[in-house]
Amino acid sequence: MKKAQTHQVFFYIMVIIVVGAVVLIGYSAIGDILKKQCDISKITFKDDMKEKLDSNRNYGYSENKEIKVPCNVETICFLNETLTNNQISKIKNIQMKTAAQVNSEDNIFILTNGKTEPLLQMEKIRVDKDEGYICIESRSGRFPIKMESAGYGYVKVSQGS
């Protein structure tokens, strides 16, 4: 092998190493940007949900909402402000059940890839079910939620159409 050919082989090896490093760094940066975008989307969703619930506290107010789902969120769950022991025993999700048992103020949860996390702490929430909680799955990237005033500042949440 000639000296020029040896230099050319090392040149190509260096090019491969540099290109590989650029690709890895770029991939990592894009992953970070997408994660931050998801975090921002969840914060915006949280603020929108709080605003929509607060705006439906006025007596006689009722509306169906289709709320845009933040990235990867599959389900949103609401717990009644107060739950009986019988209702708590019917909750299948461990984190929601624990929150209800210890009288945590967390009463709105989101489920993403099998993971449950609290979203909001809202007072005066009622659900339109005997179980004391309702979980609404996303449809076509939106949560169909019906919110209506239940009097005395309460908001009743149910599955929208």
- The model's confidence at residue 1, banded by pLDDT at 50, 70 and 90, is low
8 Å CB contact between 63 and 148: yes
Residue ranges per domain, the chain? 36-159
| pTM over 0.95, yes/no | no
Q: Encoding tokens for residue 116? A: 């449950």
Is 36 exposed, middle or buried (CB count within 10 Å of its CB: 0-12, 13-18, 19+)? exposed
Q: Render pLDDT for 20-55 as a digit per residue (tens, 0 to 9).
A: 888 888 888 887 887 888 888 888 989 988 888 888
Asked whether the predicted pLDDT for residue 123 surpasses 70, the reply is yes
Q: How far apart are CA 34 and CA 32, in angstroms?
A: 5
First to last CA, the chain: 75
Report the pLDDT value the prediction gives residue 4, as an integer from 0 to 100. Answer: 65
